[in-house]
């Protein structure tokens, strides 16, 4: 089993030092050599995929990326299926399967990126001979290409029949569809049938390492209300601080109380404030209107919370609620959480040879 994992991971590395090559078995050396020889071809495919906009809500673009990869998997003898995402308001998922002897391996990727069609960040750009930038290169079209070329290397070494393989590439990793039970059904089904699962999104930028735990994801929305009045009355007993001052107080309280918590991230990603605020949660965008001489009546901020354990997430929520409750004069605030992915805390002995 260990040799299989090494083979898949080694095949994904594009430039192995000589010392590493000597430590590999003959089959593993063949896999690494194939990966080296396929580098230019793999980079061309990566450029092609990156230049297709596949922001999560660009349903057509996500499907186009899936179609390109499906054609590649078919050349390796995989059966491909497109799981339509209409039921969960997303493009859908690509599943590629190949029967084989021995254990079933699940390889996980995703087709979508965070960059929608109106983003200025759209194209693959070569920086040096060994570096490039572009939307989704790391997160995670590069990982998708690694999966594909690892499998191509295994096929060239006639080692692909040694394991049953399922590949699941979701189309809504960056912004999961609703209901989540439907959006993740295909991945859950594949996971239950697998003996080993490996996700190929970039970890710590070192391909020699594998992550054995994962922080969870919880979205949060904070809505603040203040007293609308002429700005000359701000801070008075009858008007108070206004919504934007209260929003600033709360965010500063989050930073002061939680920014040093190990393995925790708490990020406000969008803020709006003023006399009126309109927010579209589905598209994560909105508008605000206000004047310099009017105390802000409304403010909103949305963000994410990522903790390494369920206990850390719950403790963080309590701390945040405590900060929110200490309102400035004539203001009120409501904090709502939306739990998505649960954390997978590290477990002693979870990873072993």
CATH of the domain at 192: 3.40.630.10
Which domain covers residue 243, as residue numbers? Answer: 218-339
Q: Residues in the chain, how many?
A: 353
How far is residue 234's CA from residue 197's CA, in Å, rounded to a whole number?
57
Pair 335, 324: CB distance under 8 Å: yes
9, part of any domain: yes
How far is it, in rounded angstroms, from Cα 158 to Cα 92?
A: 32
Chain-centroid distance, C-alpha 286: 23
Q: Are residues 34 and 125 in the same domain?
A: yes
Contact 112, 66 (CB under 8 A): no
> What's the pLDDT score for residue 4?
40
Residue 103 lies in a domain: yes
For the full predicted model, state whether its pTM sits above 0.75.
no
What's the pLDDT at 7?
42
- Kindly state whether residue 347 falls inside one of the protein's structural domains: no
Divide the 353 residues of the chain into consecutive groups of 10 and give the mean pLDDT of each group: 41 41 78 91 97 97 98 97 98 96 92 95 94 94 95 90 92 92 95 92 78 90 98 98 98 98 97 98 93 98 97 98 98 96 78 45
For residues 300 and 159, membership in a common domain is answered with no
Q: pLDDT value at position 206?
A: 77
Judge whether 334 and 302 are in contact, CB under 8 Å: no
Assigned domain for 353 exists: no
Domain assignment present for residue 79? The answer is yes
CA 297 from centroid of its chain's CA atoms: 34
Q: What stretch of H or E contains 248? A: helix 243-258
Residue 16 φ/ψ, nearest 5 degrees: -90, 130
Q: How far apart are CA 8 and CA 322, in angstroms?
A: 48
Q: Give the Cα separation of 47 and 128 in Å (integer).
A: 14
């Amino acid at each position: 089993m260990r040799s299989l994992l090494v083979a898949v991971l080694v095949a994904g590395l594009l430039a192995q030092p000589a010392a590493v090559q000597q430590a590999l078995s003959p089959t593993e050396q063949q896999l690494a050599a194939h990966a080296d020889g396929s580098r230019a071809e793999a980079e061309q495919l990566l450029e092609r995929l990156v230049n297709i906009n596949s922001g999560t809500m660009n349903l057509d673009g996500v499907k186009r990326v899936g179609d390109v990869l499906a054609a590649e998997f078919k050349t390796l003898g995989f059966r491909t299926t497109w799981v339509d995402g209409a039921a969960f308001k997303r493009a859908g998922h690509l599943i590629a399967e190949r029967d084989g002897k021995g254990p079933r391996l699940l390889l996980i990727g995703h087709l979508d990126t965070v960059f929608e069609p109106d983003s200025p960040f759209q194209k693959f750009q070569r920086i040096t001979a060994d570096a490039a930038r572009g939307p989704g290169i790391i997160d995670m079209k590069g990982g998708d290409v690694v999966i594909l070329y690892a499998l191509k290397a295994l096929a060239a070494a006639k080692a692909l029949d040694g394991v049953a393989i399922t590949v699941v590439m979701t189309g809504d990793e960056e912004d999961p569809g609703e209901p989540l039970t439907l959006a993740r059904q295909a991945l859950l089904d594949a996971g239950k049938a697998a003996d080993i699962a490996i996700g190929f999104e970039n970890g710590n930028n070192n391909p020699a390492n594998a992550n054995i735990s994962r922080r969870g994801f919880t979205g949060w929305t904070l809505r603040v209300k203040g007293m609308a009045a002429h700005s000359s009355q701000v801070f008075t007993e009858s008007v108070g601080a206004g919504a934007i001052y209260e929003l600033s107080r709360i965010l500063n309280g989050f930073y002061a109380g939680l920014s040093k918590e190990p393995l925790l991230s708490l990020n406000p990603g969008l803020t709006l404030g003023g006399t009126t605020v309109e927010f579209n949660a589905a598209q994560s965008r909105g508008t605000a209107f206000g004047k310099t001489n009017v105390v802000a009546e409304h403010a909103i901020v949305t963000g994410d919370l990522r903790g390494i354990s369920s206990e850390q997430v719950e403790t963080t929520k309590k701390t945040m609620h405590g900060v929110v409750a200490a309102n400035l004069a004539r203001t009120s605030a409501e904090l709502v959480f939306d739990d998505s992915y649960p954390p997978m805390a590290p477990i002693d002995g979870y990873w072993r040879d």
